[in-house]
């Protein structure tokens, strides 16, 4: 993760979470994605038409791609109903698939409760045998 520490990424995810728009679930999520050496933030954005909602991880992924950063190195995620996250919020299946499209070999996923309480695993471990461009 070179010049960024895990704690930097988690702090960014906590700040990103402040932008969450989650009036339906009340579950606010923030994500900070390290891509091509820069951090891109995302939050969940819900909609009155529930299916139109977007997860924090995909918001961050799409921001990175739109900015031309297509090599994902790590993502930190923090979410929950309370001010302080009570559980680790691992990315949903759709987000794992979206991340895998742009993930570097050893991309790490960090699920955090706060800066010093987190778990980190590779995306490959969270999504083995992902569907990819190689077989199309």
Q: Which is it for the CA torsion 62, 112, 44, 98, positive or negative?
A: positive
State the minimum distance, in angstroms, from the CB of residue 136 to ligand THU. Answer: 25
Judge residue 75's burial from the number of C-beta atoms within 10 Å of its C-beta, 0-12 exposed, 13-18 middle, 19 or more buried: buried
- The CA-atom distances, in angstroms, between 94 and each of 15, 38, 86, 100, 107 are 23, 23, 23, 10, 17
Q: Which stretch binds ligand THU (CB under 6 A): 3-11, 21-29, 62-70, 117-125?
A: 21-29
- Using CB under 6 A, which of 41, 91, 110, 123 touches ligand THU? 91
Q: Which residue is associated with the tokens 């921001």?
A: 63
Number of residues that bind ligand THU (CB under 6 A): 13
Told to check if 47 binds ligand THU by CB under 6 A, we report no
Active site residue 57: yes
Interaction of residue 44 with ligand THU, rule CB under 6 A = yes
25 binds ligand THU (CB under 6 A): yes
Alpha-helix residue ranges (DSSP H) falling in the chain: 6-17, 56-66, 93-102, 123-126
Applying CB under 6 A, the span of 23-31, 60-68, 80-88, 106-114 interacting with ligand THU comes to: 23-31
Q: How far apart are CA 80 and CA 88, in angstroms?
A: 8
Among 33, 69, 76, 95, binds ligand THU (CB under 6 A): 95
Q: Which is nearer to ligand THU, 37 or 84 (CB)?
A: 84
- Minimum distance between the CB of residue 42 and ligand THU, rounded to whole angstroms? 8
The catalytic site residues sit at: 57
């Amino acid at each position: 993760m070179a010049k960024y520490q895990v704690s930097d990424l988690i702090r960014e995810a906590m700040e990103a979470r402040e932008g969450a728009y989650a009036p339906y679930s009340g579950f606010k999520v923030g994500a900070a994605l390290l891509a091509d050496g820069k951090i891109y933030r995302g939050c969940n954005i819900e909609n009155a038409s529930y299916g139109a909602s977007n997860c924090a991880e995909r918001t961050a992924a799409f921001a990175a791609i739109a900015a031309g950063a297509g090599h994902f190195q790590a993502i930190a995620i923090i979410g929950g109903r309370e001010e302080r996250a009570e559980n680790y919020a691992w990315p949903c299946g759709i987000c794992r698939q979206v991340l895998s499209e742009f993930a570097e070999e050893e991309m790490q996923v960090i699920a955090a409760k706060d800066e010093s309480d987190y778990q980190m695993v590779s995306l490959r471990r969270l999504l083995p045998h992902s569907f990819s461009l190689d077989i199309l």
